[in-house]
Structure 1
Amino acid sequence: MKRKTATEEQNHLPVIGVGPLYVLPTVAVTILAIALSKRNIIPPLGTVPVIPFYIAGSLSIVCGIYLWAAAVFSSRIDVKIKQNTLVTDGIYAHVRNPVYSAFLFLCTGALLLCCNIFLLILPPLFWLYLTVFIKLTEEKWLLKQYGAEFETYCKKVNRCIPSIVGNE
């Protein structure tokens, strides 16, 4: 019996993918920004209404937790990747990258809870980093792996920001 090579055994995308290369820097910058804000190294710009920041921050965190849980537990993305299946249902009908989006929402929520307007420059930068990063890596891999099926999916579903309606 011939033993399969690593390449033959793994004709699917990596399960973790490039996730740590997005998540770790984003979380690290968020933690650093919060620490600098708390120490007044990044001082707040005047007084801001705290309640709206707390509400928006809390909602963003809840949304992030939901996105992550829906991708990992409901859609079972790890299993689908190993089966070499393009996942387009469940949470993936609402956003193409729910795990990355989850961290975008979680970090944004944490920054909002600081009530420091200066920190609000970071979420658009995180989004830009995510967009460029995904376009240069995973989207190229997925296009090569799934071709027209992935192109059609991209036309229907947002990369980072979930749609409420979905495309199931």
Structure 2
Amino acid sequence: MIIISKKDSLPVYGVGPYLIAPMFVVSIMGVILSYYNMIPVYKIDSLYWLFIGLAVVILLDAIFLWYAAVKISDISKNIENNKLVSDGVYALVRHPIYSAWLQISTALILFSQNLYLFIIPVIFWIILSIALAKTEEKWLIEKFGDDYVSYAKTTNRFIPFSRLR
């Protein structure tokens, strides 16, 4: 774990609120508009319980990721103390809080069962990947150098699974 001076600390929230709030609003709007048939809806009724079950599993994983990052790893304190955290949930995924919100969005879309909306989480993933590469990850590379680069090479950005090699 690397520690740098407190005056050079990264912002605790980063670009998160600017990325997550619109993502969440779009997901909720998609669900509501689908429910009231205000947008085209394509459902496969025979897959109802599969989508509901998958949504519940994804939602539970999102809760775990968020809790592990915020409460167990105490990421706010580590950011304020300029520590690069790469253990715990951060050994599974580099951005567990963003991953959690991406999963919440995906679960909401699955609950809607509107297949037309299934592209939305993919779009969010692309937007988050680009935005984080150009902001927070750039800052982390500037702060922690090769340590962050090595960590990034072995840990996925959002999907908490081992990299395929």
- With structure 2 as the length reference, what TM-score do the two structures score? 0.91
Give 1:164 shift.
Answer: 5.9
Match of 1:158 in 2: 156
**How far apart, in 1, do the equivalents of 2:136 and 2:62 lie?**
21
Task: Give aligned-pair identity as a percent.
Answer: 39
Seen in structure 2, the aligned counterparts of structure 1 residues 46 and 70 have a Cα distance that, compared at 3 Å, is: closer
Structure 2 SS opposite 1:61: helix
* 1:43 correspondence with 2:40: yes
**How far apart, in 2, do the equivalents of 1:83 and 1:95 lie?**
21
Structure 2 SS opposite 1:113: helix
Q: Stretches of 4+ moved more than 3 A in 1? A: none
Larger of the two Rg values belongs to structure: 1
Give 1:43 shift.
Answer: 3.1
What is the identity, as a one-letter code, of the residue corresponding to 1:161?
I
Match of 2:145 in 1: 147
* 1:32 correspondence with 2:29: yes
* 1:111 correspondence with 2:109: yes
Kindly tell me the number of residue pairs found equivalent between the two proteins: 158
CA displacement 1:99-152 (0-9 Å, x = unmatched): 000000011001101111111010100100110010010010000000000000
- CA RMSD, Structure 1 to Structure 2 (Å): 1.4
Seen in structure 2, the aligned counterparts of structure 1 residues 156 and 47 have a Cα distance that, compared at 3 Å, is: closer
Give 1:26 shift.
Answer: 0.4
Seen in structure 2, the aligned counterparts of structure 1 residues 56 and 153 have a Cα distance that, compared at 3 Å, is: same
What is the identity, as a one-letter code, of the residue corresponding to 2:24?
V
**How far apart, in 1, do the equivalents of 2:152 and 2:119 lie?**
27
What is the identity, as a one-letter code, of the residue corresponding to 1:63?
D
CA displacement 1:14-38 (0-9 Å, x = unmatched): 1111110111010010111111101
5 Å-filtered alignment, 1:44-123, equals 44-48=41-45, 49-123=47-121
CA contact (8 A) 1:12 1:82 kept: yes
What is the identity, as a one-letter code, of the residue corresponding to 1:114?
S
What is the identity, as a one-letter code, of the residue corresponding to 2:27?
T
Give 1:39 shift.
Answer: 1.1
* 1:15 correspondence with 2:12: yes
Give 1:46 shift.
Answer: 4.6
CA contact (8 A) 1:64 1:101 kept: yes
**How far apart, in 2, do the equivalents of 1:34 and 1:140 lie?**
34
What is the identity, as a one-letter code, of the residue corresponding to 2:150?
T
Seen in structure 2, the aligned counterparts of structure 1 residues 101 and 46 have a Cα distance that, compared at 3 Å, is: closer
- With structure 1 as the length reference, what TM-score do the two structures score? 0.90
CA contact (8 A) 1:12 1:83 kept: yes
